[in-house]
Amino acid sequence: MYSLGIETSCDETSCAVVSGQRVRSVVTVSSLNYHKRYGGVIPEIATRNHLQFIDSVCCQALKKARVRLHDISVIAATYRPGLRGALVIGVNFAKALSVSCKIPFLGVNHLHAHLFSPFLDYPKKIPLPCIGLVVSGGHTDIFLVKDFDDITLLGETRDDACGEVYDKIARSFGLGYPGGGYIDALYQAQWADSYRFRCPRIGLGFSFSGIKTAVIYKKMELEKAHRLTRDETIKILSSFQESVVTTLVENVFAAAAAHKIKTIICGGGVTANLRLRSCLNEKAKETGTRLYVPQKRYTADNAAMVAGLAFYLYNDKKNTSSLDLEVETN
C-alpha cells in the first residue's frame, strides 16, 4: 500500500509517496528565494508558485517512487492551518486526483503531520500516548497525543511564534532569511549568559514578543554608545537563543511530568536548531524520557510527513475525508 501526500501550506510545493513509515520519494520546490528580499513569505507569490509547479512535482514524486497513480491507496493534502490560497491549490489538486482516479481523499492537519515526522524512515512502532512539541515559523504548540486522530492542545504561544521571532531578530541584525539557521550558527555556549533576557512561560504556553523587543532594544542601546562589534552581536544572540531554548525544553518536559508520560515527540522547522536538539537530548537522559525528533531533512515543511500520517490514519484507522472539506487558515 502507498499513500500520496501533498503539502502546500506555505512556500513549499511538495509531494511524496510513503509506504508505512518508509519514504519512497519526496520532491519539493520552494519559493523561498522570491521571499528573501521581503524578509518574509508573500502569500500571492507562494500561491502562484504552487499553481505553477504542483503538477510537475507530483509527477516527479510518483516517478521517483516508481509507482503509478493506480498503485496509490489514499491521496492526502494539508488542509489546515496555512495560507488560504496556498492550501486551496494543494487540496483542490488532491481532490481532482481523488475523483478522477477513484482513490480516497484525506485532509491532514499540518501540525499533526509535523508531530508524525520523527517516525519517517524509522523502523519501530510509534509509542503512544506521548507529549508533542511543534515549533516553527508559524507555530509553537504543545500537545497531548493519545493517538494521531486524538490530539489535544495543551499550550501555545500567546503572540509571536518562536521561528517568527528568530526571523525578526535576525532581520534587525542584518542577517539572512530565514533567521534561525544564522542565529544558531553564531551561537556560542560560553556567552549564553551574557545578557538576562526573559522568555516567560504561561502555564504550558509561551510568549515571545517580550524577548523580541528586549533583544532589539539592547542592540539599539549599545549602538547609541558605539558601533556594535561582532563579539557583542554574538553575546546578544547567544543569550537570546539560550533563553528561548530553555523555555521550550522546560515547558515540554513540564507537560510530560504533569501527564505522567515518558515519551516526547517533536517537529517543525525550529527542531533543526542544534542547541535545541542538544538540550532536549540532555533533559531526556536526565529524566529517563524517550525522545523522538525528526531527521533534519524532515524538519521543514514537506509532503513526506503528510503522506506518512495519512498512511497511518487510513491503513490503521480507516479515516477518510469528504470532498466537501474546506481549507482552514487557523
Q: Report the candidate in 101, 82, 123, 88 with the shortest Cα–Cα distance to residue 4.
A: 101
Q: List per-block mean pLDDT (blocks of 10 residues) for the chain, which spans 330 residues.
A: 97 96 96 77 90 97 97 98 97 98 98 98 93 96 97 97 96 93 97 94 95 96 91 97 98 98 98 98 98 97 98 94 95
Neighbours of 268 (CB within 10 A): 27
Q: What is the pTM of this model?
A: 0.95
Strand partners of residue 303: none
Q: Which residue ranges does the chain devote to CATH 3.30.420.40?
A: 2-121+298-315, 130-294
For the domain covering 130-294, report its CATH number.
3.30.420.40
3-state SS, one letter per residue, for 68-129: CHHHEEEEEEEEECCCHHHHHHHHHHHHHHHHHHCCCEEEEEHHHHHHHHHHCCCCCCCCCC
Task: Read off the amino acid at residue 197.
Answer: F
Quote the pLDDT of residue 36.
77
Quote the pLDDT of residue 2.
98
- pLDDT tens digits, 93-104: 999 999 999 999
CA distance 102 to 32: 34
User: H/E element holding 205?
Assistant: strand 205-206
Quote the pLDDT of residue 227.
86
From the candidate CATH numbers 3.30.420.40, 3.30.110.70, 1.10.1370.40, 3.40.50.720, the one assigned to the domain spanning 2-121+298-315: 3.30.420.40
